[in-house]
Structure 1
Amino acid sequence: MKRFQLMQRVNVEGLYGAVQAALPHLKREGAGRIVVVCPPIYSRFFRGKTAYAMGKVGMSVLVKGLAMDFEREGLNGMAVVGIWPAAAIESAATERFTRKDPSHAKDLRKPTIFSDAILAMLRTPAPVINGQLELDEDFLRKQAGVTDFSKYAVVPGSSPRRIMPAELPDLTVKEQDDEGMRIDSSKL
Structure 2
Amino acid sequence: MGTQKVALVVGASRGIGRQIAIDLAKNGYAVVVAANLNPHSFPPDPHSSASTITTVAREIREAGGEATAVPVDVRDLASIEALVARTLQVYGRLDALVYNAGAVWWASVEDTPVKRFRLLQQVNVEGLYGAVQAALPPLKKKSAEGEGGRIVVVSPPIYSRFFRGKTGYAMGKVGMSVLTKGLAMDFERQGLKNMSITSLWPAVAIESAATHKLQQTDPATARDLRKPTIFSDAVLAVLRAPAASVNGMLALDEDFLRSELGGSVTDFSQYALVPGTSPRRIMPKQLPDLTVAEQDDEGTRINSAAPTARKIKAKL
Q: TM-score, normalised by structure 1?
A: 0.97
**Match for 2:186 among 58, 66, 69?**
69
Higher helix share: 1
Query: 1:186/1:103 Cα in 2 relative to 1: closer, same or farther (>3 Å)?
Result: same
Number of aligned pairs? Answer: 188
Give the C-alpha shift of residue 96 in structure 1: 1.6
Match of 1:180 in 2: 299
Is 1:170 equivalent to 2:283 in the alignment? Answer: no
The amino acid of 1:14's aligned partner reads G
Cα 1:177–1:141, aligned 2, differ >3 Å: closer, same or farther?
Answer: farther
Q: Does 1:32 align with 2:149?
A: yes
Cα 1:125–1:101, aligned 2, differ >3 Å: closer, same or farther? same
Aligned to 2:314: none
Mapping for residues 33-52 of structure 1, pairs under 5 Å: 33-52=150-169
Separation in 1, partners of 2:165, 2:303? 37
Q: Which residue of 2 aligns with 1:2?
A: 115
**Displacement of 1:50 after TM fit?**
0.4
Corresponding position: 1:86 with 2:203: yes
| Closer, same or farther: CA 149–52 of 1 in aligned 2, 3 Å | same
1:148 corresponds in structure 2 to 267
Using the TM superposition, give the Cα deviation of residue 180 of structure 1 relative to its aligned residue in structure 2, in angstroms. Answer: 2.5
Q: CA RMSD in A?
A: 1.3
Residues 178 and 78 of structure 1, relative CA distance in 2, 3 Å threshold: farther
After TM superposition, list the pairs within 5 Å mapping 1:130-141 onto structure 2.
130-141=247-258
CA distance in 2, matches of 1:98, 1:34: 32
Structure 1: runs of 5+ lacking an equivalent: none
> What is the CA deviation profile of residues 101-128 of structure 1, one whole-angstrom value per residue up to 9, with x for unaligned ones?
1111000000000000000000000110
Larger radius of gyration: 2
Q: Secondary structure at the match of 2:305?
A: helix
Distance across 1 between alignment mates of 2:200 and 2:274? 23
Which residue does 2:102 correspond to in 1? none
SS in 2 for 1:186: coil
Give how far 1:182 is off.
Answer: 2.6
Structure 2 length-normalised TM: 0.58
| CA offset digits 1:66-107 (Å, max 9, x no partner) | 001111111000000000000000011001211111111000
User: Separation in 1 of the partners of 2:189 and 2:195?
Assistant: 12
Structure 2 SS opposite 1:81:
strand
Q: Find 1:95's aligned residue among 212, 217, 242.
A: 212
1:148 counterpart SS class: coil
**Residue type of the partner of 1:135?**
L
Alignment-mate amino acid for residue 111 of structure 1: P
- Name the SS for the 2:197 alignment partner: strand
Identify the residue that residue 222 of structure 2 maps to in structure 1. 105
Aligned-residue offset at 1:160? 0.4
Q: Which residue of 1 aligns with 2:233?
A: 116
Deviation of 1:152 (Å)? 0.4
What amino acid maps onto 2:153 in structure 1?
V
> Alpha-carbon deviation of 1:179?
4.7
User: Which residue does 1:23 correspond to in 2?
Assistant: 136
Moved beyond 2 Å, runs of 4+:
176-180
Structure 2 gaps, min length 5: 1-113, 310-316
Q: What displacement does 1:177 show?
A: 9.0
